[in-house]
Structure 1
């Protein structure tokens, strides 16, 4: 049974407002400054200073500009930090455009394959609607960037520099998604006509060839071999001739990518801790690395980040950056705004409730580059390298309170060497047969 708001109830609402202490002052403060500025606290700004007991060398922050490639920027930043130190190249960047090109081509193929696989389902089916809502986009997860690096390697930014579409991706995304939806209609019709797999794949490849051309026009030609020279900080000259992107990765970064895994903290009833999960229809490279998440309790989760930082390695992480944060100040803190106090209403939700009721999910990836520990080695606050340029925070660096970490950090990338023996065993065994989450599960959100 539904019930309308009555005039009597409206009158009571109005009276309740009038009876609220300082209602006029609160009204003026919010109307003039907005909810968040009116509720911003000074204590948070004092406590969230940029000093940390553990800190790694990084350098100037990068700028993703008007694109959603934070996950790519964060991953390439974790790689360039040790590269800059080892080879003495300050200000060096890897090409985000190179990764963008291959990601969009691979995502297009991934989408078209899913369109074929779900062709028997009608439009209006939740899985079909989920696919068609966003055929491809800028966002991604750690295992997806690893799949790209394993297949295509990396290149310096000077070899494949930014284009308009790399820095402002909205137009390219709109065109690609329109084409992919049109292509999906064709492929679904072919399946409905019982065309052979060979015929369907041939037509799909023609579609991908057209997408490849659009990407070349928009992002540039990805090099297969290239020349690259640089002068190090000691003024010594170095030159590479006809090196491939994979050779460049092996020589200048040299990571065993299988050693870096995704850990998550998702305290919902449907995801018991110490188990491994994947997400249906989440990925980019067909036949490449698949998404795997090891779900850990928050204290285990954080202790791994501390270990990795103490060893001098940054930590790629995914969080809900829009929650209780201020980009100008570069602060992420649960006490930054007192909205409940200002409005005299309870706005608190648990982390599990936020996930279950779609109030929060991973929206942005960054790199943790420092932590401030107390006398018992417990974290107080964390240093964060963002990818929004130097005009935010402290020259692009943010400070995150430990309480904010607890509530809004969902994913950490950790080297296996920092896992306990038990955690390693759980991951290795669970990764072979992970529990499959629905495509729309919050742990499938793209940063």
Structure 2
């Protein structure tokens, strides 16, 4: 049998090599007193970045998701609020993120328990069952999940269901919900094993979920009065409306939007439709699907949409090569390889294959800088408040786009004719744990 244990001789060799490397010892001294990102940051890149862009569509202030993972809801609502500004002329407006958050949690609970009923004949250590139990409910989501909520529940202005302490800091609420759903899974599986109806168990658990949500988030309004004063001081009123009426009044037809992703793994062909097993939030809604395309297709569809005056919802791996205080993304912002003296290079496909990359955050493209027909950098509306970056708006160099942007939602008219037939094809199903099923 081969002995693969780490030997003292090997360690002494590592130490001798390090000690003999003068540059490594200098870097050691620096990093002992300074955060690694301060040492590795490329100042030339930082000083060369200009946040101005040739195309800019935002005229509104930034939002703040605070201590929650609701970026996809904030970004979805932020990408659609321009219609309210255009129709009313108000100076500031926000949709209620808390309203969408409430219904997402309730629907996710139902979606999870429905899956547990469907998988009740499998062993509890089955990989899919265990994967779902590892995180039965969290704050994240994807574009199609946002659409499912809007189509079923509509939208409301922020004043109709304002933020609460728990909507802005979801940890305690989520811990309670996760335990409730795991206990519910236990009871569902017991009922199934005893030949009883597990759906009766599900209904009882969902009533308790609603109770927890109402205590933490408040009760969603069924109707509200919509009136406003525009930036010229003129008063407008449309009277009492339902959330679905409000959505029909101001939002575009979201069924016409397509989710494009860039998954360059050899196992994921381009111009093909994909879905992920057990990914969704609303039972009975259209499945979460996305069209896999080269990154250049995403770049072109995004820039063309911005040039038409509309923002674009996007999902990315935000923590890579990012300084959140400065509000900068660049593909080589931090020279970790030069700092450590090691090779860290991986392709986008390899990062997906080996667990180094997945979609972690959703934001909104609100601008692009184009020179001689080519994109150079992008303006991004984040939801981390206005005390960082350019009053909360970030700048993304084009070098970052290819490697770390994964997903956008655009109107289907931005797709070339050769891509449209794929939208009606049977989607390829990826397993529940695939990185393309990660929730922003």
TM normalised by structure 2 equals 0.98
CA contact (8 A) 2:383 2:392 kept: yes
Q: Secondary structure at the match of 1:272?
A: coil
Alignment partner of 1:24 is 2:28: no
In the alignment, the residues of structure 2 paired with residue 217 and residue 172 of structure 1 have an alpha-carbon distance, to the nearest angstrom, of 9
1:7-30 per-position Cα deviation (integer Å, ceiling 9, x unaligned): 221221111112213233211111
**Greater Cα shift, 17-26 or 298-307:** 17-26
Corresponding residue for 2:323? 326
In the alignment, the residues of structure 1 paired with residue 140 and residue 393 of structure 2 have an alpha-carbon distance, to the nearest angstrom, of 21
CA contact (8 A) 1:48 1:400 kept: no
Task: Please report the RMSD computed on the Cα atoms of aligned residues, expressed in angstroms.
Answer: 1.1
Following superposition, the deviation at residue 34 of structure 1 comes to 2.2
Alignment partner of 1:237 is 2:235: yes
Following superposition, the deviation at residue 129 of structure 1 comes to 0.5
Q: Secondary structure at the match of 1:58?
A: coil
Q: Secondary structure at the match of 1:158?
A: helix
Correspondent of 2:418 among 422, 425, 433:
422
Following superposition, the deviation at residue 84 of structure 1 comes to 1.5
In the alignment, the residues of structure 2 paired with residue 234 and residue 421 of structure 1 have an alpha-carbon distance, to the nearest angstrom, of 44
In the alignment, the residues of structure 1 paired with residue 167 and residue 238 of structure 2 have an alpha-carbon distance, to the nearest angstrom, of 26
**Greater Cα shift, 268-277 or 8-17:** 8-17
In the alignment, the residues of structure 1 paired with residue 26 and residue 110 of structure 2 have an alpha-carbon distance, to the nearest angstrom, of 57
In the alignment, the residues of structure 2 paired with residue 327 and residue 82 of structure 1 have an alpha-carbon distance, to the nearest angstrom, of 29
Where structure 2 has 5 or more consecutive residues not aligned to the other structure, the ranges are none
1:277-319 per-position Cα deviation (integer Å, ceiling 9, x unaligned): 0000000000012101100011112111111111111110000
1:28-82 per-position Cα deviation (integer Å, ceiling 9, x unaligned): 1111112211110111112321011111133100000000000000000011123
Q: Secondary structure at the match of 2:159?
A: coil
Correspondent of 1:214 among 191, 203, 212:
212
In the alignment, the residues of structure 1 paired with residue 20 and residue 371 of structure 2 have an alpha-carbon distance, to the nearest angstrom, of 45
Corresponding residue for 1:413? 409
In the alignment, the residues of structure 2 paired with residue 334 and residue 298 of structure 1 have an alpha-carbon distance, to the nearest angstrom, of 15
Where structure 1 has 5 or more consecutive residues not aligned to the other structure, the ranges are none
Corresponding residue for 1:119? 120
Structure 1: 4+ residue segments shifted above 6 A: none
Q: Secondary structure at the match of 1:22?
A: helix
CA contact (8 A) 2:83 2:250 kept: no
Map 1:325-404; keep pairs closer than 5 Å. Answer: 325-375=322-372, 377-404=373-400
Following superposition, the deviation at residue 241 of structure 1 comes to 2.7
1:300-359 per-position Cα deviation (integer Å, ceiling 9, x unaligned): 121111111111111100000000101001001111111101111111110000000000
CA contact (8 A) 2:189 2:198 kept: no
Corresponding residue for 2:312? 315
In the alignment, the residues of structure 2 paired with residue 56 and residue 82 of structure 1 have an alpha-carbon distance, to the nearest angstrom, of 12
Following superposition, the deviation at residue 85 of structure 1 comes to 2.8
Corresponding residue for 1:62? 63
Following superposition, the deviation at residue 242 of structure 1 comes to 2.5
1:198-225 per-position Cα deviation (integer Å, ceiling 9, x unaligned): x332331121111111111111111111
Corresponding residue for 2:255? 258
